[in-house]
Structure formats: C-alpha cells, structure tokens
Chain A
Amino acid sequence: MSANLSATFYLLSGILFILALRGLSSPETSRQGNYMGIAGMIIAILVTFLSVGNFGTGFIYVLIFLIIGGSIGAFIAFRIPMTAMPELVAGFHSLVGLAAVFVAVSAFLKPEAFNLGIVGNIKLASLIEMSLGAAIGAITFSGSIIAFLKLRGIMSGAPITFKGQHLLNLILGISILVLIFYLCKIQSNNLFWTIVTISFLLGVLLIIPIGGADMPVVISMLNSYSGWAAAGIGFTLENTALIITGALVGSSGAILSYIMCKGMNRSFFNVILGGWGATEQNSLSKTKEQKPVKNGNADDAAFLMKNASSVIIVPGYGMAVAQAQHALREMVDALKKNGVKVSYAIHPVAGRMPGHMNVLLAEANVPYDEVFELEEINNDFANCDVAYVIGANDVTNPVAKSDPQSPIYGMPVLDVEKSKSVLFVKRSLSPGYAGIDNDLFYRDNTLMLFADAKKMTEEIVKNL
C-alpha cells in the first residue's frame, strides 16, 4: 500500500476516533460512538499490516500476540465489577504508558525500520520526539501503577511526603530535559536508558504525595499524559492517526483534571503538590468539643421518607465502598410506589474518578434522567422534604459556604441542609477526607443513621 493511501486511511481512523468522543455527548448516541471508535481501530491496524506488507512468520506471531493480549483484555472487561472501575482505568493507563516506552525503545534500537535514520545517526527531530514520548510514557506507567495500588487499597491512600520532595522532583524533571539534550548530541544507549529510568522514578515520586480523595484529578491527569506520550510517538512514526488521538486524549484528560479541580475549588498545582489536610486540620478536629447529634434508626428513616413528597439522594464514595447501589435502587423503587418523587444529586468529585457515581447508579438500573449534576439540582434542595446522604461527606459541608477559615471554603457544595430533613448514613462521626468536621451532623434537621450504607439501606427497605 502506498504511503499516501495509508496516510489517508490513518486520517479516516483519526476522524472516527473524534466521532467516538463526540458520541458521548448523550447516552443515546454513545453506543454508536463506541462502534465508530472500534471501526477506527480496525482500520488503523489493517492499514498498518498492508503498508508493512510483511506476511511471513512474523505476521503470524503478531496475530498470536494480538490474540493473547486481546483475550486478557476481554476477560478483564467482562469480569471487572463496576466498583473497581477507577483502578481498572489507572491500570489501563499504565499499559498505554509502557507500550509507548517499548515502541520508543524499539525505534531507538532499530531506527531504519521506521525511516528515522540509522543507529548512532538518528534524525534530530525524531530523537527529540521519541525520547519525550518515552519519558512521558515512563512517567505515565509508574505513576499509574502507584495510583492503581492506592485505589486498590494495596497501598495506603494517605499522602507520602518528605522534606525536599518538590525540589527533588524539579531536579529530576530538569535532568530529564538536560539528558535529552545530550542524547541528541551523542546518541548513546546508556543515556537513553538513564532517561527512561529517571522518568520511571519521577512517575512514582509525583503520585505518592497525593491522597486518596484527590484520585479523580490524578487519574484524569495520567489520562492526559498517556495521550501526550502517544502523540510523541505519533510524531516519531509520522502517523496521523496517532497524532490526532494523542492530542484528543491529552486535551480530554486535561479538561477532566480542570473540572475535578474546580469541583474542589483548588488549583491544579495545589492538588499535584499534594498532602492536603494530612497535617494540621486533623489535630484541629480532635480538639473540638463533643456536640449533640440526633441519632435515628431505619424505622425513623423509613417513616420520614414514606411521608415525604420529594426525596433527593446524595451518593458518595462510601456508597461504592459498601456496594450499596442495588439496595439503594430497591429503596427508591419502594418509595416511588408510595408516590414519592425521587432524584439523585451528584457532586463533580463524588467518588474516585470523574463520573464514578453515575456508572454505579446506571449499573443498579437507575435511569440516567433521574440523576442530576450539582448545578442542575442544587436549587431543588430548598423544596425537598428529605435528603438521603449515603457515603458522601465533605461535598455536603455547609462550612464551605460560611467559614473563610475552612480549608474547603469556596468549594461548590450540595445545599443539603436546605431540605426539610436530612438523613445522613455514616458509620461514625469521623471527619471526611479534608479532615474537617461536618457542620451538617449537628443541625436540628439532621438525623444521623450510624451504620454501614448497604445494611442501613436494606433495613429501610424492610421498613417501608
């Protein structure tokens, strides 16, 4: 296949990828969009086979490896529980990163296969592109591994910080750039490996200081990095499909990070530099005097909700941990039978990744037109009889609106306290991730339900 023809087909697959993302603007068009993405991928792979034109033994091996990887991927995709989606995505990012590193290494070792010159005399531009691709890929890989371990709970979600951390990261980052500069001059293998190694190290160091609840930002950021790494390799291979995709994914991840940061009213650097609420706020909340709270049980909750005319459900990460989404759906069904109007309110940073709560509710067969974003529903709390807060905490804290001293001041929060009564399912009075007390616990219209989110919801269903 001629280079011009294959380039045209790569452009086509790039366009199909754009349409795949475009489809996600509404759930109705999204499935069709996904098929377009699959079509784009098939075209890209077939065109590559045809343009390489080598259908010998190597081709058979390529197919075998493709099938091995494909079966592993398909197996994971069908078996993974929806609650494990954040760590799955982190794991997938790490694979993209590592694949970028491998392709860059291969191109460096055998540049003639990619028309980039010969060993020891690789074109300058290609060398810069492939080493940047390899460095970003390596950072994506090791960073995503750390994110995966934290999300999976293998590694503690608590931030790991030490003195001079940011300075060290800065030095490592600069040294990568300096080494790339020297690599362009002397093209030594050792230098290339050193760049990759330092980048692996930097990826680990960048993610360890970031705490569990900041993971939505981290995952989006790594998503973005994996895109830039792919784009870097795309420039090396002079491949349009890869350049377009890399740019799409890179900007997608960047926008998601921005949305997540805005949802917490924090700057991107504030999140990346990490360690939020790990130090001073914790000690503050411990010294606070005990205030009275109203304690309720499933019976009270069922009574309140049954006699309400409208109920808003506020889910959070705790719902995912307790796997309470199915029980919640049953409860809502029972309420609807009683003529209660029920809707769901989702805060942008609820859960551990963008859109986490929406997927879990969809899994439990909650229709997506009953689920609302913060801006859409926040005014409705004032007219609602009962707010049922299940597994959320900081995102409902009214302190964010009233106390300029608070670390979460200015963060957009759900106006839960405006509803006639608030049912707050929580295991204890312990503060949330930000390490601050939630004012809501002590309000007159709040009834605390101390229990596991799933057990409590099931109890309520029995009492309805």
Chain B
Amino acid sequence: MEIDPFIFRFSIFILSIFIGYYVVWSVTPSLHTPLMSVTNAISSVIIVGAIIAALAGSTEKIFEISNVFGFLAIILAAINIFGGFLVTQRMLQMYKKKKK
C-alpha cells in the first residue's frame, strides 16, 4: 500500500512544530520583540504562492482576476519581507554589551 504524500507533508509540519517549540523556548526574553518581527518576515515566504498565482495562465492575459490577487499578495508579502528583516536588523544592531 502506498502512503499518501499528504502524510509526508503532515509529518514535516508536526516535526517543525516541535522544532519551533524547542527553538523558541531558547530565545532570550530580551529578544522577544525581534523574534516577533523576524517570524513576521519569514512567514511572508507565502510570497512563493503569490508569485505562482501572479504568473499563472497564458502570457497574453497577464492581468486576469486570479493573477491580480497574486500581484496584490506580492506587494503585501514584499512589504513584510523587506520591512520585517530590516527592522529586525535595525533592532539587533542596538543590542550592545557593556564596554569594559
């Protein structure tokens, strides 16, 4: 009997939740705000779906309704990717150790 590919993806999903659990507990509380902004940025990897949606269909009709939703999603995700990573970077630059 063959295993449905969904089960494989589901396994990845569950194992990732466990990885997330242990990794996030080890994040130092003083970096919880950068944690939120960086998780924000990486969850915008949803842009992958947006790109597929935007480029779907024939090359003549590039602005069909489903493509338009794709393009809109690209803008939103791009704001998040750039905004999220850059603001995280800006915050992390500020964390300094005591000068001895």
Q: Are the CB atoms of B97 and A368 closer together than 8 Å?
A: yes
Q: Is A322 interfacial (CB 8 A cutoff)?
A: no
Which residues of B44-88 are within 8 A (CB) of A? 44-57, 59, 62, 64-67, 69-88
The size bracket of the interface on B is 35 or more
- Give the interface centre of B30, B64, B71 by most chain A CB atoms within 10 Å: B30
> B interface, by DSSP: helix, strand, loop or mixed?
helix
Interface residues of B (CB under 8 A from A): 5-6, 9, 12-14, 16-17, 19-21, 23-57, 59, 62, 64-67, 69-99
- The smallest C-beta distance from B11 to any residue of chain A, in angstroms, reads 10
- The smallest C-beta distance from B3 to any residue of chain A, in angstroms, reads 14
Q: Are the CB atoms of A61 and B54 closer together than 8 Å?
A: yes
For residue B98, which residue of chain A has the nearest CB?
A367
With A25-B28, A73-B79 known as contacts, the answer to whether A45 contacts B47 (CB < 8 A) is yes
- The smallest C-beta distance from A122 to any residue of chain B, in angstroms, reads 13
Q: Are the CB atoms of B31 and A30 closer together than 8 Å?
A: yes
Binary per-residue interface labels of chain A (45-67) against chain B in the complex, 1 for a CB within 8 Å, 0 otherwise: 10011001010111101100111
Q: Are the CB atoms of B71 and A92 closer together than 8 Å?
A: no
Q: Are the CB atoms of A114 and B52 closer together than 8 Å?
A: yes
Binary per-residue interface labels of chain A (223-243) against chain B in the complex, 1 for a CB within 8 Å, 0 otherwise: 100110011011111111111
Q: Is A358 interfacial (CB 8 A cutoff)?
A: yes
Binds B, one of A13-21, A294-302, A378-386, A388-396: A13-21
Q: Are the CB atoms of B42 and A255 closer together than 8 Å?
A: no
> A interface, by DSSP: helix, strand, loop or mixed?
helix
- The smallest C-beta distance from A358 to any residue of chain B, in angstroms, reads 4
With A230-B43, A253-B39 known as contacts, the answer to whether A356 contacts B85 (CB < 8 A) is no
A45 to B55, CA, bound (A): 13
With A18-B19, A125-B6, A370-B98 known as contacts, the answer to whether A256 contacts B44 (CB < 8 A) is no
Q: Is A118 interfacial (CB 8 A cutoff)?
A: no
For residue B27, which residue of chain A has the nearest CB?
A24
- The smallest C-beta distance from A223 to any residue of chain B, in angstroms, reads 6
Q: Are the CB atoms of A247 and B16 closer together than 8 Å?
A: yes
Residues in A with CB closer than 8 Å to B86 are 73-74, 77-78
